């Protein structure tokens, strides 16, 4: 099946979805469209387009791929599956929220980078209006979950705690559940890769991740194995 991965122009592709699909050995073609957000059934990019079906978000993509006969977590027992789901929530809870916070609630980053990047496919004044609207939406959500009053330092501390937990769980294994990659590996890789390669006004976020050498090695390994080997991958992880 020909899988089209649609993403937004000028926006970082969500690596975890790409990683997951490549781990399943599915051939994908990446296409960039400015209106990708509106084509997506959930408003989230990137999403996949197969035949006449459209699926977005990692969870439903995993289900969809499973229904077509590919799954990464079949070999896990019930307790392991519970653990995997719990760690995926931890990543969503801490890393994803921290990324959103940094992109939209840190004034320096918003002013210098996010605003311009988000509005880039659109003409004036739409670029400003859409960027402000998105910022307002994100701030509202942060307030609802209790992150509204967090300072940047507190957010960075949460990221550190999350990375420490992931690092401890990974230990010296190649993947989180030893020999075979699972959805968790795709998710963690996606987020860490984004953090390590996205240019922000300060490097504190990527420095937090770099403190954990086994996480760096994990990212490098997946990048090499699944992306470089197939001749893909634009920016790569800086080794330091």
Partner 1 sequence: MAAPLELSCWGGGWGLPSVHSESLVVMAYAKFSGAPLKVNVIDKTWRGSRGDVPILTTEDNIVSQPAKILNFLRKQKYNADYELSAKQGADTLAYIALIEEKLLPAVLHTFWVESDNYFSVTKPWFASRIPFPLSLILPGRISKGALNRILLTRGEPPLYHLREVEAQIYRDAKECLNLLSNRLGTSQFFFGDTPSTLDAYVFGFLAPLYKVRFPKVQLQEHLKQLSNLCRFCDDILNSYFRLSLGDG
Instruction: Please state, in angstroms and rounded to a whole number, the distance separating the CA atoms of residues 129 and 122.
Output: 10
Asked if 41 interacts with partner 1 (CB under 8 A), we say yes
Kindly give the interhelix angle for 97-104 and 152-170, rounded to the nearest 10 degrees.
150
Site mask for partner 1 (CB under 8 A), range 1-40, x = bound: ----------------------------------------
DSSP-assigned beta bridge partners for residue 4 = 29, 49
Question: Do 73 and 84 meet the contact criterion of CB atoms below 8 Å apart?
Answer: yes
Cα end-to-end distance, the chain, whole Å: 39
Asked if 145 interacts with partner 1 (CB under 8 A), we say yes
From 161, 202, 211, 224, residue interacting with partner 1 (rule: CB under 8 A): 161
Contacts with partner 1 by CB under 8 A: the residue count is 30
Q: Select 9 or 154, whichever has its Cβ closest to partner 1.
A: 154
Decide: helix, strand or coil at residue 26. Answer: coil
Q: Select 44 or 220, whichever has its Cβ closest to partner 1.
A: 44
How much of the chain is in helix, strand and coil states, percent to nearest 5?
Answer: 60, 10, 35
Stretch that binds partner 1, among 8-16, 75-83, 193-201, 225-233 (CB under 8 A): 75-83
From 30, 31, 34, 82, residue interacting with partner 1 (rule: CB under 8 A): 82
Structural tokens at position 99: 């990324």
Site mask for partner 1 (CB under 8 A), range 84-103, x = bound: -xxx-xx-xxx---------
From 146, 153, 234, 240, residue interacting with partner 1 (rule: CB under 8 A): 146
Q: What is the DSSP string of 107-164?
A: HHHIIIIIHHHHHTTS-TTHHHHHHHHHHHHHHHHHHHTT-TT--HHHHHHHHHHHHH
Asked if 43 interacts with partner 1 (CB under 8 A), we say yes
Query: Which helix (H) or strand (E) covers residue 32, if one does?
Result: strand 28-32
Q: Select 89 or 107, whichever has its Cβ closest to partner 1.
A: 89
From 42, 199, 202, 224, residue interacting with partner 1 (rule: CB under 8 A): 42
- Which residues form the interface with partner 1 (CB under 8 A)? 41-44, 78-79, 81-83, 85-87, 89-90, 92-94, 140-141, 144-146, 161-162, 164-166, 168-169, 171
């Amino acid at each position: 099946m020909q899988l089209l991965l649609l993403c937004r122009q000028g926006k970082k592709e969500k690596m975890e979805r790409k990683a997951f699909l490549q781990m399943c050995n599915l051939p994908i073609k990446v296409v960039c469209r400015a209106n990708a957000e509106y084509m997506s059934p959930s408003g989230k990019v990137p999403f996949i387009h197969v035949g006449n079906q459209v699926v977005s978000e990692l969870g439903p993509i995993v289900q969809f791929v499973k229904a077509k006969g590919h799954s990464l977590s079949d070999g896990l027992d019930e307790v392991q599956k519970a653990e995997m789901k719990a760690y995926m929530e931890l990543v969503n809870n801490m890393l994803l929220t921290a990324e959103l916070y940094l992109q939209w609630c840190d004034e320096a980053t918003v002013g210098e980078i996010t605003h311009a990047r988000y509005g880039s496919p659109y003409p004036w004044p739409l670029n400003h209006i859409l960027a402000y609207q998105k910022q307002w939406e994100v701030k509202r959500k942060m307030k609802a979950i209790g992150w509204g009053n967090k300072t940047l330092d507190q957010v960075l501390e949460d990221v550190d705690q999350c990375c420490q937990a992931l690092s401890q769980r990974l230990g010296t294994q190649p993947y989180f559940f030893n020999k075979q990659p699972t959805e968790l590996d795709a998710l963690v890789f996606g987020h860490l890769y984004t953090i390590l390669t996205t240019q922000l006004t300060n490097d504190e976020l990527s420095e937090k991740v770099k403190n954990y050498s086994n996480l760096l090695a994990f990212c490098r390994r997946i990048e090499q194995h699944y992306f470089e080997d197939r001749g893909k991958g634009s920016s790569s992880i800086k080794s330091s």
